[in-house]
């Protein structure tokens, strides 16, 4: 699409300009500068811009009341690729994720500027139907949040609200999704028991199954594995590998190994800013910034 | 940051304080709970024992006094008091005896100083008789009479004959009573309906109209058929009453007066001193059955309370049905839709204050608005004939519907507050999860929020029902009556009559206990009615709680 590619060009130019500006003050530690409240440009690798974006975040600012939580985030999310968001706690990863499907609309104090586009449709356009928008995305939250109903009904919830009542379709979707979330074997004999009787880790996998049941265009995963044991984590990572190429996945994680194993691209955020964004291999082996290297290798601070 | 000399770590005491273990608080909290439980169970036990023992056939004591008088009765109480009548204070013990025979002595109960009692004994043939009118009678059976003819003579023969003949006589009596009360009532209602149809036709179309003329013809037909049917009923009741007429049981009281009690007017009689435990149980349960299933008699101080049970349950259920949707919808708007701000806070405070408004104010509002405004307009629109012809309002006066509505209003704050609590206890993460799946607001509320909040909403409803069922003051204004044996459901069209006045157990307690001409005789009834009311409320609550726990198991499971 021409409009998209021109936009990517424009962003590339912006990024370049920012890069040059940063180079003009070479001695500054960017993280300290951010902490001091200075504007700091993001380092965005060229490979990202060369990709076909499914989601474009464009100079996005967000305030909780008078406190700014996101500062001018500009990043394209490549189509059918896995993009990881890393950064220290409280840097705004969840906030960014929740802005993508406009869940932040529910928080009364939130104010935003800038825009995001999903396959070219403006997300924050007043004419955008939020419900349609959310139907195009699936989300898994940091804390498992199963609904107070049976496991089966949890999984097929998005189909139910669309009015799907065909038992055959529902059964099939339920099994596929539960298998995808590595929960089928544990849950197949108790599909009609309350989902609240599952363990924390099982609940989280149930939420993953729920998110993929509707086959969304974009999958937003907010630390999906923080409550899981290594085996379940491995299964979820496998699932993400399977989804790669079919879905666009945006995943928040605190686990650097996980980010390097599962993702194609990695973005490093700090205090509401995007610091560096590029192919995962580059971010983990030869990042542009020392700060990024320090963070991903665990020598942060 | 680094310190030059690190501050030494504070050593913690090896002893832990009492506070840390919390024993003091365990005792304090446990103590207050124990106190509360003790008071509540004490009250309930008191009511239960007094209420449940009312119908037990107590022993019949023949009390002979030193002055030669003798009375036959149940000893129901004993107390010590200080007698100052002779100028010096003296400790005296005295006994309360249920002497009955109000028509002869003018008393139901009498106090006797223990010093004045010569002897007490339990005579074998001492009989307690419950009558349709005039209260209890205590005495000894002498003979059974059919007019002048003596049918049986002597205590044992009389008693045997009485037991053989009494059930049939009673059955005839009740049959006649039923015809008088219900069959004749139905005829009266048909007459009235036909008469009102004429008036209505007059109002609608005038006297010259065809409708009026045909209504007049119809009324004539109804009058004729009612007259015919009522003749048939007259014949039937006359024959029933004829068969009972003249039959009587002659008793002699302890002091020697002879009285003939008509056989059919004896509700039941028993001789407690001759009864085995099984026999006493029989009397006990037959009295309970009468209490639960019959209409009241003797200004509500005897007989049954069936219409009141019916009224209480119906009113409470209708109230719950009315208050639940209103309260839940209002709370849903307040918690889920309204933008939080000073307005919602003000509304919330107002609702909480409503819960503190005296209930009589609600009663006054119900009378003023529901009966006199709403009901009067309904009468004006649909029941004008009754107003014009008999000057008798239909909906424009108190009734079951208006009472239920008034109580629904009264309990609305309870339901709203509880529902709001329940809604705010639904984790936001569940709502967000639902929105993230692309659900709309109402879908989220219906599929996630309401099911999860349902147990909490039920709690509110249970509280509301308990509060509503025990309310008296507002009901006195909006439809509860001292006596209303006609239930709001019966066989005449349209079968449900929500405008009818009704009876209520809580009001009955007030009426029997404090309005009765003879409060002492009615006192055992007060306890029994209270016991029954508490039991009914408990039953309603227990079923609601059972329902709630079923929901809870479905929607709020524990996990770790
Ligand atoms: N509802 C809210 N109201 C006000 N401030 C908020 C709200 N939610 C988040 N914040 C603030 O916004 C900032 C970003 O929060 P966010 O939850 O996005 O962090 P995060 O990167 O996801 O952290 P973590 O890795 O611990 O989950 C934090 O400083 C947080 O305090
Ligand atoms: Mg987070």
The whole-number pLDDT of residue A274 equals 92
Q: Which of A91, A221, A275 to mutate to test the pocket of ligand 1 (most atoms within 8 A of CB)?
A: A91
Q: Please judge whether B437 and A199 are an interchain contact, meaning their C-beta atoms are less than 8 angstroms apart.
A: no
Adjacency order of strands within the sheet including B70-83: B109-113, B90-98, B70-83, B61-65, B117-121
Confidence of residue B470 (pLDDT cuts 50, 70, 90): confident
Q: Are residues B100 and B157 in the same domain?
A: no
**C-alpha distance from residue B422 to each of A199, B336, B354, B559 (Å):** 24, 12, 20, 19
CATH number, domain of B449, equals 1.10.3720.10
Let me know if residue B54 belongs to a domain. yes
Q: Please judge whether A194 and B555 are an interchain contact, meaning their C-beta atoms are less than 8 angstroms apart.
A: yes
How many angstroms separate the CA atoms of A207 and A226, rounded? 13
The whole-number pLDDT of residue A14 equals 54
Q: Are residues B90 and B57 in the same domain?
A: yes
**C-alpha distance from residue A215 to each of A176, A209, B72, B263, B270 (Å):** 11, 10, 90, 86, 81
* Cα B123 to middle of ligand 2, angstroms: 89
Q: Ligand 1: which residues within 6 Å by Cβ?
A: A 64, 69, 89-95, 107, 142
Let me know if residue B20 belongs to a domain. no
Q: Which one has a higher pLDDT value, B519 or B173?
A: B173
Residue B94 neighbours by CB distance under 10 Å: 19
In A120-248, alpha helices (H): 130-135, 151-155, 157-161, 167-180, 184-187, 200-213, 230-243
Q: Please judge whether A161 and B554 are an interchain contact, meaning their C-beta atoms are less than 8 angstroms apart.
A: no
Secondary structure of residue B205 in the 3-state scheme: helix
- Total count of domains within chain B: 3
The whole-number pLDDT of residue A86 equals 93
- Calculate mean pLDDT across residues B224-248: 89
Atom of ligand 1 nearest to the CA of A88: 25
Residue A240: is its pLDDT beyond 60?
A: yes
Residue B221: is its pLDDT beyond 70?
A: yes
Name the B residues in 525-554 with CB < 8 Å from any A CB.
Answer: 553-554
Q: What pTM was computed for the model? A: 0.81
- Calculate mean pLDDT across residues B93-103: 87
Is the Cα torsion angle B474, B477, B480, B482 positive or negative in sign? positive
How many angstroms separate the CA atoms of B468 and B471, rounded? 5
Residue in B closest to A97 by C-alpha: B436
**C-alpha distance from residue A301 to each of A32, A71, A91 (Å):** 10, 21, 14
Looking at chain B, the whole-number percentage of residues with pLDDT higher than 70 is 96
The whole-number pLDDT of residue B491 equals 64
The whole-number pLDDT of residue A5 equals 45
Let me know if residue B2 belongs to a domain. no
* Cα B368 to middle of ligand 1, angstroms: 55
Q: Are residues B97 and B122 in the same domain?
A: yes
Question: Do residues B508 and B308 lie in contact, with contact meaning Cβ atoms separated by under 8 Å?
Answer: yes
Q: Which chain A residues are within 8 Å of B452, Cβ to Cβ? A: 148
Q: Are residues B453 and B540 in the same domain?
A: yes
How far does A291 lie from chain B, in Å, by closest CA?
22
Residues 6+ apart with CB under 8 A from B489: B495, B496, B497
Return the structure tokens found at A169.
């379709």
- Calculate mean pLDDT across residues A240-246: 84
Q: Which ligand has the nearest atom to the CA of A69?
A: 1
Confidence of residue A11 (pLDDT cuts 50, 70, 90): low
Let me know if residue B31 belongs to a domain. no
- Calculate mean pLDDT across residues A207-218: 90
B379-416 b/e with 16+ CB inside 10 Å = b? beeebbbbbebeeebbbbbbbbbbbbbbbbbbbbbbbb
Taking the Cβ of residue B560 and every Cβ of chain A, the question of whether any pair is shorter than 8 Å is answered with yes
Antiparallel, parallel or unpaired: β A265-270 and A248-252: unpaired
- Calculate mean pLDDT across residues A252-257: 91
Let me know if residue B251 belongs to a domain. no
The whole-number pLDDT of residue A2 equals 42
Adjacency order of strands within the sheet including A110-118: A67-78, A53-64, A110-118, A121-122
Least confident of A82-96, A104-118, B468-482: B468-482
How far does A19 lie from chain B, in Å, by closest CA?
34
Q: Which of A86, A93, A100, A109 to mutate to test the pocket of ligand 1 (most atoms within 8 A of CB)?
A: A93
The whole-number pLDDT of residue A1 equals 38
- ipTM given for this complex: 0.86
Q: Are residues B524 and B402 in the same domain?
A: yes
The whole-number pLDDT of residue A95 equals 94
The whole-number pLDDT of residue B406 equals 93
Atom of ligand 1 nearest to the CA of A107: 1
* Cα A50 to middle of ligand 1, angstroms: 31
Segment B26-82, tens digit of pLDDT: 888 999 999 999 999 999 999 889 888 888 898 899 999 888 888 999 888 888 888
Q: Which chain A residues are within 8 Å of B560, Cβ to Cβ? A: 199-200
Atom of ligand 1 nearest to the CA of A109: 3
Antiparallel, parallel or unpaired: β B302-303 and A67-78: unpaired
How many angstroms separate the CA atoms of B136 and B114, rounded? 24
How far does B330 lie from chain A, in Å, by closest CA?
21
Nearest one of A134, A135, A113 to A124, comparing CA atoms: A113
Residue B274: is its pLDDT beyond 50?
A: yes
Residue B328: is its pLDDT beyond 60?
A: yes
Return the structure tokens found at A106.
């529910």
User: What does chain A come to in residues?
Assistant: 301
Return the structure tokens found at B460.
């509110």
Return the structure tokens found at B394.
């239909």
How many angstroms separate the CA atoms of A214 and A158, rounded? 6
Segment A264-299, tens digit of pLDDT: 999 999 889 999 999 999 999 988 888 888 888 887
Confidence of residue A249 (pLDDT cuts 50, 70, 90): very high
* Cα B424 to middle of ligand 1, angstroms: 22
- Say if residue B499 is exposed, middle or buried (CB neighbours under 10 Å; 0-12, 13-18, 19+): buried
The whole-number pLDDT of residue A10 equals 57
Q: Which one has a higher pLDDT value, B493 or A97?
A: A97
**C-alpha distance from residue A107 to each of A112, B7, B428 (Å):** 12, 45, 11
Q: Are residues B221 and B349 in the same domain?
A: no
Return the structure tokens found at A69.
């939580």
Secondary structure of residue B222 in the 3-state scheme: helix
Segment B501-559, tens digit of pLDDT: 888 888 888 888 888 777 777 788 888 999 998 888 888 888 888 888 887 776 655 44
Secondary structure of residue B343 in the 3-state scheme: helix
- Say if residue B52 is exposed, middle or buried (CB neighbours under 10 Å; 0-12, 13-18, 19+): middle
Q: Are residues B273 and B240 in the same domain?
A: no
For an interface test with A, give the residue of B339, B435, B438 to mutate (most A CBs within 10 A): B438
Q: Are residues B86 and B127 in the same domain?
A: yes
Return the structure tokens found at B395.
């909906």
In this structure, the residue with its CA closest to atom 30 of ligand 1 is A90
What domain range is B107 assigned to?
A: 48-134+267-292
Least confident of A166-180, B318-332, B390-404, B500-514: B390-404
Q: Please judge whether B432 and A210 are an interchain contact, meaning their C-beta atoms are less than 8 angstroms apart.
A: no
Q: Are residues B159 and B278 in the same domain?
A: no
Q: Are residues B283 and B372 in the same domain?
A: no
Question: Do residues A195 and A152 lie in contact, with contact meaning Cβ atoms separated by under 8 Å?
Answer: no
How many angstroms separate the CA atoms of A296 and B72, rounded? 102
The whole-number pLDDT of residue A27 equals 35
The whole-number pLDDT of residue B554 equals 65
Segment B291-306, tens digit of pLDDT: 898 888 877 777 888 8
CATH number, domain of B84, equals 2.30.30
Nearest one of A126, A147, A57, A122 to A93, comparing CA atoms: A57
Confidence of residue A3 (pLDDT cuts 50, 70, 90): very low
Residue B392: is its pLDDT beyond 90?
A: no
Report how far apart the first and last C-alpha atoms of chain A are (Å, whole number).
Answer: 42
Confidence of residue B441 (pLDDT cuts 50, 70, 90): very high
State residue B151 phi and psi, 5-degree precision: -95, -40
Nearest one of B121, B412, B480, B434 to A131, comparing CA atoms: B434
Report how far apart the first and last C-alpha atoms of chain B are (Å, whole number).
Answer: 40
The whole-number pLDDT of residue A181 equals 85
Segment A137-188, tens digit of pLDDT: 999 998 889 998 899 999 999 999 998 889 999 999 999 999 888 889 989 8
Let me know if residue B27 belongs to a domain. no
Q: Which chain B residues are within 8 Å of A206, Cβ to Cβ? A: none
Segment B345-366, tens digit of pLDDT: 999 999 989 888 899 999 999 9
Let me know if residue B88 belongs to a domain. yes
Let me know if residue B6 belongs to a domain. no
Adjacency order of strands within the sheet including A265-270: A43-44, A273-279, A265-270, A82-86, A248-252, A218-222, A137-140
Antiparallel, parallel or unpaired: β A53-64 and A110-118: antiparallel
Q: Are residues B310 and B458 in the same domain?
A: yes
Residue A22: is its pLDDT beyond 50?
A: no
Looking at chain A, the whole-number percentage of residues with pLDDT higher than 70 is 90
Q: Which one has a higher pLDDT value, B330 or B384?
A: B330
Does residue B494 have a cis peptide bond before it, meaning omega lies within 30 degrees of 0?
Answer: yes
Is the backbone of residue B304 left (phi > 0), alpha (psi -120 to 50) or beta? Answer: beta
Q: Are residues B378 and B476 in the same domain?
A: yes
Q: Please judge whether A196 and B339 are an interchain contact, meaning their C-beta atoms are less than 8 angstroms apart.
A: no
Among candidates B340, B435, B443 on the partner chain, residue whose Cβ is nearest the Cβ of A103: B435
The whole-number pLDDT of residue A6 equals 45
Residue B338 neighbours by CB distance under 10 Å: 12
* Cα A99 to middle of ligand 2, angstroms: 12
Among candidates A134, A197, A199 on the partner chain, residue whose Cβ is nearest the Cβ of B435: A134
Q: Which single residue is written with the structure tokens 């003819």?
A: B149
């Amino acid at each position: 699409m021409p409009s998209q590619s021109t936009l990517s060009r424009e962003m590339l130019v912006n990024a370049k300009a920012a890069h040059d500006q940063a180079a003009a003050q070479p001695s500054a530690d960017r993280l300290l500068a951010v902490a001091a409240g200075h504007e700091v440009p993001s380092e965005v690798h060229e490979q990202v811009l060369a990709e076909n974006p499914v989601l474009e975040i464009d100079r996005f600012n967000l305030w909780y009341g008078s406190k700014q939580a996101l500062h001018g985030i500009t990043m394209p999310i490549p189509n059918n690729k896995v993009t990881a968001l890393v950064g220290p706690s409280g840097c705004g990863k969840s906030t960014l994720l929740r802005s993508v499907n406009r869940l932040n609309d529910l928080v009364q104090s939130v104010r935003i500027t800038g825009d995001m586009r999903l396959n070219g449709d403006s997300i924050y356009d007043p004419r955008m139907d939020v419900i349609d928008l959310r139907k195009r995305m699936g989300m898994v939250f940091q804390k498992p949040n199963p609904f107070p109903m049976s496991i089966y009904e949890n999984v097929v919830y998005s189909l139910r609200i669309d009015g799907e009542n065909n038992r055959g379709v529902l059964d099939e979707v339920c099994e596929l999704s539960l298998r995808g979330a590595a929960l089928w074997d544990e849950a197949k004999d108790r599909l009609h028991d309350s989902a609240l009787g599952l363990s924390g880790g099982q609940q989280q996998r149930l939420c993953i199954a729920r998110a993929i049941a509707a086959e969304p265009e974009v999958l937003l995963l907010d630390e999906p594995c923080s409550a899981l044991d290594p085996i379940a984590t491995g299964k979820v990572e496998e699932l993400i590998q399977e989804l790669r190429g079919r879905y666009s996945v945006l995943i928040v994680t605190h686990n650097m190994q996980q980010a390097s194993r599962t993702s194609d691209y990695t973005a490093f955020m700090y205090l509401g800013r995007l610091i560096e964004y590029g192919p995962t291999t580059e971010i983990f082996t030869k990042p542009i910034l020392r700060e990024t290297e320090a963070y991903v290798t665990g020598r942060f601070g | 940051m680094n310190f030059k000399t690190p501050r030494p770590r504070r050593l913690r005491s090896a002893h832990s304080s009492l506070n840390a273990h919390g024993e003091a608080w365990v005792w304090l909290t446990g103590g207050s709970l124990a106190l509360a439980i003790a008071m509540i169970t004490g009250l309930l036990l008191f009511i239960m024992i007094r209420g449940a023992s009312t119908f037990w056939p107590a022993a019949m004591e023949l009390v002979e006094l030193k002055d030669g008088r003798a009375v036959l009765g149940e000893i129901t109480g004993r107390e010590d008091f200080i007698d100052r009548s002779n100028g010096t204070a003296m400790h005296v013990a005295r006994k309360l005896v249920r002497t009955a025979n109000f028509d002869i002595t003018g008393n139901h109960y009498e106090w006797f100083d223990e010093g004045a009692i010569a002897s007490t004994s339990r005579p074998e043939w001492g009989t307690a008789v419950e009558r349709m009118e005039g209260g209890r009678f205590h005495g000894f059976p002498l003979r059974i009479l059919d007019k002048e003819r003596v049918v049986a003579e002597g205590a044992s023969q009389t008693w045997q004959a009485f037991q053989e003949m009494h059930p049939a006589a009673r059955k005839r009596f009740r049959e006649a009573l039923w015809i008088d009360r219900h069959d004749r009532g139905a005829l009266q209602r048909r007459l009235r309906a036909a008469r009102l149809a004429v008036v209505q036709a007059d109002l609608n179309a005038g006297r010259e109209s065809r409708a009026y003329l045909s209504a007049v013809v119809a009324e004539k037909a109804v009058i004729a058929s009612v007259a015919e049917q009522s003749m048939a009923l007259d014949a039937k009741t006359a024959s029933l009453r004829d068969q009972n007429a003249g039959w009587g049981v002659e008793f002699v009281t302890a002091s020697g007066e002879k009285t003939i009690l008509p056989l059919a007017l004896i509700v039941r009689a028993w001789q407690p001193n001759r009864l085995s435990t099984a026999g006493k149980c029989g009397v006990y349960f037959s009295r309970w059955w009468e209490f639960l299933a019959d209409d009241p008699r003797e200004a509500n101080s005897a007989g049954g309370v069936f219409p009141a049970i019916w009224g209480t349950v119906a009113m409470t259920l209708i109230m719950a049905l009315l208050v639940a949707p209103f309260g839940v919808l209002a709370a849903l708007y307040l918690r889920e839709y309204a933008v939080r701000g000073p307005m919602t806070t003000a509304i919330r405070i107002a609702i909480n204050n409503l819960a503190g408004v005296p209930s009589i104010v609600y009663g006054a509002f119900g009378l003023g608005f529901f009966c006199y405004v709403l009901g009067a307009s309904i009468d004006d629109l649909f029941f004008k004939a009754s107003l014009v012809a008999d000057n008798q309002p239909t909906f424009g006066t108190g009734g079951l519907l208006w009472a239920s509505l008034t109580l629904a209003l009264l309990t609305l704050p309870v339901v709203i507050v509880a529902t709001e609590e329940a809604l705010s206890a639904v984790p936001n993460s569940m709502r967000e999860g639902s929105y993230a799946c692309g659900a709309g607001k109402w879908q989220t509320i219906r599929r996630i929020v309401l099911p999860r909040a349902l147990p909490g909403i039920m709690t509110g409803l249970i509280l509301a029902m308990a509060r509503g069922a025990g309310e008296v003051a507002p009901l006195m204004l909006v439809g509860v009556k001292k006596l209303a044996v006609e239930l709001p459901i019966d066989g005449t069209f349209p079968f449900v009559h929500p405008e009818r006045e009704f009876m209520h157990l809580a009001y009955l307690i007030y009426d029997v206990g404090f309005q009765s001409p003879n409060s002492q005789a009615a006192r055992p009834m007060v306890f029994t009615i209270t016991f029954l009311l508490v039991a009914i409320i408990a039953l309603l609550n227990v079923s609601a709680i059972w329902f709630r726990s079923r929901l809870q198991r479905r929607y709020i499971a524990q996990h770790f």
